[in-house]
Amino acid sequence: MAKAPNSAQIWTSKTNAAGSASFSDRDSGFVRNTLAGLMPFAVGIAMASLLHFLLPGMVGLYYSRIVTDIGIAIIMAVSLNIVNGMTGQFSIGHAGFMTLGGYMAAFTSYYGSMCLWGNTEIHGGFLGTGEWLFVVSCIVGGLLAAGAGYVVGLPSLRLRGDYLAIVTLGFGEIIRVILQQTGKVIESAEALKTGGLSQMIPPPVGGALGFGGVPKYTNLFWVFTILTVTLVIAYRLKRSSFGRGMISVREDEIAAQAMGVNIARQKVLAFVIAAFFAGIAGGLFAHERGVILSPKDAGFQRSFDYVIMTVLGGRGSITGVMLAAGLLTALPEFLREFEQYRLIVYALLLIFMMLVRPQGLLGIHEIWDLWPRRRTTLPPTASLMHSSTMPSQESKR
Amino acid sequence: MTTTLQTPIFTLMSDFVQTLITALAIGSLYALIALGYTMVYGILKFINFAHSDIVVLGAWSSYTLAVRILPWLGLDPHNPATVPPFWVAAVVMLAAMVLCGVVGFAIERLAYRRLRRAPRLNVLITAIGVSLLLQNVGQLNFVFGASPQKMPALLPSWELASIAFGEGESARRVVIGLIDVVIFSLATTLMLMMQYLVFHTKLGVAMRAVSFNTDNAALMGIPVDRVVSFTFVLGSVLAAAAGFLYVMKYPSMNQPAHAVWVLLGLKAFVAAVIGGIGNVRGAVLGGFVIAFVEQFGAFYISSNYRDVYVFALLIVILLVKPSGLLGSPVREKV
């Protein structure tokens, strides 16, 4: 960022994270701009490949599994942060989106694999045909979750804070109950062909027992590639005029509306974007080794885990939430013998945070904001967002 | 000839009456729990997520007490045929109410009071934290443990009335048990006492004043902190009674953090919202509406989706009349 635009330009400036604004000459800079915009993706994919090929050899399968879990948890927490942190809504049904997307993805890859190859074995190696089917099914899962996000986002236009929380909680429970009523998994390609379309109602995804037999495609490469995409999009969203609109909705809905922010659109889109990434994370989760997707995953307990990550990390801070998601996923693995105290510690942490540091570990800052820097003036978003440490409009009765 | 033709009608009628009785009993429990939600919301304007855990605490502490008291009287708590004297049920219920009242007081004093001026979202997150804390402390081995238990019967399984539909051998009978009557009458008594307290006593006036405007109430000399504490204790006591009555009706008890408990609390909250949150009469109305929708939906449509009906009703009500059936619309002030 060469020059911080003044506050009057906040709503029109389209500066993004990659620093493309520093290319002042638009015409000749187009190619360079595009390349600079793609840089984070290239770096992320390179890092994902490195992790994929080196990590299992270095630390063994058990710890690579934990790293995979951390990646999925970060996708979930960062996407939930778009709704809870940036837009200031309060969703506690995020695991519902995840499980819905996961089921859809598993359905697509399981039965797609059966239709294409006649069995549900893993097809192709690294970046082979099977993995592309897996990616497509994750995206299908994400799209279904995004549709559900639209439906859940609609009541948010009329409901504030705690009412919305209940609706999202109810949504997760409804998903759980509905998934429990689904039919048995069809075991073989012959049965799939002879059974006809009628066996698709209710969808054969395993009912209360869970969806077993899904091909286990998830690996470090795909988790961290998708994580990169999620992070870049979340970060650019935060710095875009659209993201600032979201932040303004969080700070004061009435003022935002008066400034011409379409709060209905901001809220619903926040839900749709967050649900899309949650659905993809669900797809990754469903194809992970050692995981059997079950309706229980849609319940509120899992949703609370992600809420705790966003609250702990700081509402609106992407790096803070990443940090919290990583810590809260890794720590229980190393403290196995204290398993029954895990949630007690989480609960105390939540209460303690709210009493002592309600803005979360990093608050609204990103981790690099903590380093001393030469900049003399604060970036425009910072001045806008600093007010979140003040009691907001909501506290007035 | 006539009896064979009439049998389906008798079946219909007996099913209907049976569902009605269950709905009335469950509805009065929902109403009792919903009262706690609605009073706290009315005064502090936030959902006390931990309220459902107070219900669980009431249920589990009455179990623990009953299992301790019965052997002391020379009775076997795990033998379903034992019928202890009546005072045991009363003592257990009162003890559970006192315990829950103390816990409710402590929660408000230690966690919520410091957040009186904080944004509502912070209080909500704290409430979720308190709820998680109660659930998981309850799961510890030296508290209640993580295995399901069976509540010993404290009331005799009398049949107070038996309504026969049809004649002779083919008649279908609907039985009204003592427990249903106890639940309904006790819950109604407590609700009437609440009604009297809120609308006809000085304390009730103070509660309504704090609910209307906390700062002005404080200026008028109302001890706001004491009124809020009292509200929490009152809500917790009602929740404990509901928890006790619930396990008397359904003796198989799930572990404290089980989804069934959370759903029970959630449905009661839905009842409070549907009736118009902050409105005491609305909570009672909502409790019965929810129970009727749930029980009749479960019986006549499909019992698998009983939770779905309740949440669907909630979403419909919130979209059509966001302030609830008896609530008054709130105007946003800039």
Q: What is the CATH number of the domain that holds A79?
A: 1.10.3470
Report pLDDT digits (tens) over A180-194. 888 888 887 777 877
Q: Which residue has the higher pLDDT, A115 or B1?
A: A115
The answer on pLDDT for A376 being more than 60 is: no
Choice among A168-177, A290-299, A371-380, B238-247 with the minimum mean pLDDT: A371-380
Q: Is A306 on the interface with B (CB under 8 A)?
A: no
Q: Is A355 on the interface with B (CB under 8 A)?
A: yes
Evaluate whether residue A365 is within a structural domain: no
Q: Is A279 on the interface with B (CB under 8 A)?
A: no
The answer on pLDDT for A123 being more than 90 is: no
What is the separation of C-alpha B33 from the centre of its chain, rounded to a whole number of angstroms? 3
Q: Which residues contact A280 (CB under 8 A, 6 or more apart)?
A: A75, A101, A105, A138, A139, A141, A142, A145, A226, A230
The answer on pLDDT for A392 being more than 60 is: no
Main-chain dihedrals φ then ψ at residue A293, nearest 5 degrees: -65, 130
Evaluate whether residue A154 is within a structural domain: yes
Mean pLDDT of chain A: 82
Mutate to test the interface with B, among A166, A254, A356 (most CBs of B within 10 A): A166
- Between helix A30-81 and helix A220-239 the angle, nearest 10°, is 100
Contacts of residue B50 in chain A, CB cutoff 8 Å?
none
Residue A394: predicted pLDDT: 42
Q: Is A344 on the interface with B (CB under 8 A)?
A: yes
Evaluate whether residue A50 is within a structural domain: yes
- CA–CA separation, B233 and B220 (whole Å): 23
* Closest CB from A173, A311, A358 relative to B307: A173
Contacts of residue A392 in chain B, CB cutoff 8 Å?
119
Give, in order, the Cα–Cα distances in Å from B249 to each of A32, B59, B177: 72, 11, 10
Report pLDDT digits (tens) over A96-112. 999 999 999 999 999 98
Contacts of residue A92 in chain B, CB cutoff 8 Å?
128
Q: What is the CATH code for B14-320?
A: 1.10.3470
> In the structure, what pLDDT confidence band is assigned to residue A28 with cuts at 50, 70 and 90?
low
Q: Which residue has the higher pLDDT, B22 or A391?
A: B22
Q: Is A174 on the interface with B (CB under 8 A)?
A: yes
| A159 min Cα distance to partner chain B (Å) | 8
Q: Which residue has the higher pLDDT, A370 or A131?
A: A131
Average pLDDT of the segment spanning A359-388: 63
Report pLDDT digits (tens) over B198-218. 899 999 999 999 988 889 999
Residue A395: predicted pLDDT: 40
Q: Do A162 and B47 touch (CB under 8 A)?
A: yes
Residue B68: predicted pLDDT: 87
Q: Which residues contact A191 (CB under 8 A, 6 or more apart)?
A: none
Block residue for tokens 């589990």: B60
Instruction: Reduce the DSSP state of residue B6 to 3 states and report it.
Output: helix
Mean pLDDT of chain B: 86
Evaluate whether residue A393 is within a structural domain: no
Q: What angle do CA A39, A42, A47 make, to 5 degrees?
A: 125
Sign of CA dihedral A324, A326, A329, A332: negative
Evaluate whether residue A168 is within a structural domain: yes
- Give the count of domains, chain A: 1
Give the residue from chain B lying closest to A162, CA to CA: B47
Note which residues in 20-79 of chain A have CB less than 8 A from chain B.
none
Residue A126: predicted pLDDT: 81
Residue A22: predicted pLDDT: 47
What is the pTM for the complete model shown? 0.81
In this structure, which amino acid lies at residue A68? T
Report pLDDT digits (tens) over B9-23. 778 888 888 899 989
- Give the single-character DSSP code of B253: E
Evaluate whether residue A224 is within a structural domain: yes
Contacts of residue A355 in chain B, CB cutoff 8 Å?
111, 114-115, 126
- CA–CA separation, B186 and B191 (whole Å): 9
The answer on pLDDT for A231 being more than 70 is: yes
Choice among A8-17, A30-39, B111-120 with the minimum mean pLDDT: A8-17
Give the residue from chain A lying closest to B267, CA to CA: A170
- CA–CA separation, B193 and B107 (whole Å): 24
The answer on pLDDT for A384 being more than 70 is: no
Block residue for tokens 């995020």: A94
What ipTM did this prediction achieve? 0.81
Report pLDDT digits (tens) over A293-331. 888 888 888 888 898 888 888 878 899 999 999 988 888
Would you say A183 and A203 are in contact if contact means Cβ atoms under 8 Å apart?
yes
| A177 min Cα distance to partner chain B (Å) | 7
Residue B34: predicted pLDDT: 93
Give the residue from chain A lying closest to B134, CA to CA: A344
Q: Do B129 and A350 touch (CB under 8 A)?
A: yes
DSSP string, B86-102: HHHHHHHHHHHHHHHHH
The answer on pLDDT for A333 being more than 60 is: yes
Evaluate whether residue A199 is within a structural domain: yes
What is the separation of C-alpha B35 from the centre of its chain, rounded to a whole number of angstroms? 8
Contacts of residue A358 in chain B, CB cutoff 8 Å?
118-119, 122
The answer on pLDDT for A35 being more than 70 is: yes
The answer on pLDDT for A31 being more than 60 is: yes
Q: Do B269 and A166 touch (CB under 8 A)?
A: yes
Average pLDDT of the segment spanning B232-248: 93
* Closest CB from B133, B139, B146 relative to A351: B133
| A67 min Cα distance to partner chain B (Å) | 27
Report pLDDT digits (tens) over B30-60. 999 999 889 888 888 888 889 999 999 999 9
- CA–CA separation, A364 and A86 (whole Å): 9
Average pLDDT of the segment spanning A144-163: 83
- CA–CA separation, A251 and A240 (whole Å): 16
**Beta-carbon count within 10 A of A189 CB:** 17
Residue A26: predicted pLDDT: 54
Would you say B57 and B243 are in contact if contact means Cβ atoms under 8 Å apart?
yes
SS (H, E, C) chain A: CCCCCCHHHCCCCCCCCCCHHHCCCCCCCHHHHHHHHHHHHHHHHHHHHHHHHHHHHHHHHHHHHHHHHHHHHHHHHHHHHHHHHHCCCCCCCHHHHHHHHHHHHHHHHHHHHHHHHCCCCCCCCCCCHHHHHHHHHHHHHHHHHHHHHHHHHHHHHCCCHHHHHHHHHHHHHHHHHHHHCCCCCCCCHHHHHHHCHHHHCCCCCCHHHCECCCCCCCCHHHHHHHHHHHHHHHHHHHHCHHHHHHHHHHHCHHHHHHCCCCHHHHHHHHHHHHHHHHHHHHHHHHCCCCCCECHHHHCHHHHHHHHHHHHHHCCCCHHHHHHHHHHHHHHHHHCHHHHHHHHHHHHHHHHHHHHHCCCCCCCCCCHHHHCCCCCCCCCHHHHHHHHHHCCCHHHCC
What is the separation of C-alpha B64 from the centre of its chain, rounded to a whole number of angstroms? 20
Report pLDDT digits (tens) over B62-108. 999 988 888 888 777 777 777 788 888 899 999 999 999 999 999 99
Q: Do B304 and A340 touch (CB under 8 A)?
A: no
Contacts of residue A349 in chain B, CB cutoff 8 Å?
129
End-to-end Cα distance, chain A: 41
The answer on pLDDT for A397 being more than 50 is: no
The answer on pLDDT for B134 being more than 80 is: yes
The answer on pLDDT for A367 being more than 90 is: no
The answer on pLDDT for A17 being more than 80 is: no
Report pLDDT digits (tens) over A200-212. 777 888 888 888 8
Would you say B115 and B107 are in contact if contact means Cβ atoms under 8 Å apart?
no
DSSP string, B162-224: EEEESSGGG-EEEEEEHHHHHHHHHHHHHHHHHHHHHHHSHHHHHHHHHHH-HHHHHHTT--H
Q: Is A88 on the interface with B (CB under 8 A)?
A: yes
Q: Do B114 and A355 touch (CB under 8 A)?
A: yes
Residue B30: predicted pLDDT: 94
Residue A117: predicted pLDDT: 85
Percent of chain A with pLDDT over 90: 29
Would you say B285 and B334 are in contact if contact means Cβ atoms under 8 Å apart?
no
Mutate to test the interface with B, among A301, A351, A388 (most CBs of B within 10 A): A351
* Closest CB from A88, A174, A358 relative to B311: A174
**Beta-carbon count within 10 A of B297 CB:** 20
Q: Is A157 on the interface with B (CB under 8 A)?
A: no
Q: Is A397 on the interface with B (CB under 8 A)?
A: yes
Q: Which domain holds residue A235?
A: 36-298
- Give the single-character DSSP code of B49: T
For chain B, what's the residue count? 334
> In the structure, what pLDDT confidence band is assigned to residue B141 with cuts at 50, 70 and 90?
confident
Report pLDDT digits (tens) over B274-329. 898 888 889 999 999 999 999 999 988 888 888 888 888 887 887 788 788 887 76
- Is omega for the bond preceding B156 within 30 degrees of 0, making it cis? no
Q: Do A254 and B332 touch (CB under 8 A)?
A: yes
* Closest CB from A166, A181, A395 relative to B117: A395
